[in-house]
Amino acid sequence: MTRHELFTNWTHLFLDPHGRIGRRDFWLGSAVLLVVGNLLHIILFFGSLASFGLFYCWVCLFSKRLHDLGKSGWIQIVPHVINAVCILLGIFLSGLGLIAALLGGRPLAMAGALMGTTWAGILLFVLGVAGVNTLIFMLWTGLSRGREGVNMYGAPQESLIHRPHFHAHPPAPQP
C-alpha cells in the first residue's frame, strides 16, 4: 500500500461520513480517536478545545458503521439527546436542591454545603447514566454484524487492516 493510499484511507475513515466500514475498522478508528482525545486532554486548555474537533471524526466513524448496518447515520443523535436530557435534568434537580436548602431556613453556609453534596451526587449519577448510555450505543454499533452485499449506502468496503489469507494447504508448486 502506498503512502497516498494510506493517507486516503485514513482521511476517508475520519473525515467522510459517506460509505460503509466493518467492525474491525470501527474499533480501530475508535481506538485511535480515544488515544488522540486523551493525549489532547493532557494539554490543558487548548487540548480540551482541540478535542472538540474530534467530534466530527466520531460522527463520520459512527455514520459509516451505521450505514454498514443498513441504518441512517442520523441515529447517532439519539444517545446525544439522551445525554443532554440527563445533564439538563441534573442541573435542574441540583438547582431544586439549592432552593430547598435556602428555603428551609438553614444558614447560607449549610445551604452551600448541601448544594455541594447534592450537586456532586446528582452530577455523578447523571454522568454515570450518560456514560452507560454512550457505552451501550458504542457496543451495539461496534459489535453488530453488518449487512452482506450492497445496501442503500453502497457496497462493503475493503478493510483498512489487510490480513493475509492463510490457506489450509500450501499452494501446489508450479512446474
Domain membership flag for residue 173: no
Domain membership flag for residue 172: no
Q: Evaluate if pTM is beyond 0.85.
A: no
pLDDT digits (tens, 9 = 90+) for 17-37: 999 999 999 999 999 999 998
Domain membership flag for residue 105: yes
Domain hosting 62: range is: 19-143
Domain membership flag for residue 56: yes
- Amino acid letter at 128? G
Q: Residue 157's pLDDT band (boundaries 50, 70, 90)?
A: confident
Query: According to DSSP H, which parts of the chain are helical?
Result: 3-15, 23-42, 44-52, 54-68, 77-103, 108-143
Contacts of 20 (CB under 8 A, 6+ apart): 64, 65, 67, 68, 146, 151, 153, 154, 155, 156, 157
Name the least confident of 4-8, 15-19, 61-65, 170-174. 170-174
Phi, psi dihedrals of residue 163, rounded to the nearest 5°: -95, 135
Rounded Cα distance between 111 and 168, Å, is: 72
Domain membership flag for residue 76: yes
Domain membership flag for residue 157: no
Domain membership flag for residue 49: yes
For residues 50-76, one letter each, b for 16 or more C-beta atoms within 10 angstroms of the residue's C-beta and e for the rest, the string is: ebeebeebbbbbbbbbbbbbebebeeb
Domain membership flag for residue 114: yes
CA dihedral angle for residue 57, residue 61, residue 62, residue 66, rounded to 10 degrees: 150
Rounded Cα distance between 109 and 104, Å, is: 13
Tell me the mean pLDDT in the region 144-153.
91
| Per-residue pLDDT at 166 | 47
Contacts of 1 (CB under 8 A, 6+ apart): 162
pLDDT digits (tens, 9 = 90+) for 74-127: 999 999 999 888 888 877 776 776 676 666 665 655 555 555 666 667 777 877
Please give the share of the chain, as a percent, with pLDDT higher than 70: 74
| Count of domains for the chain | 1
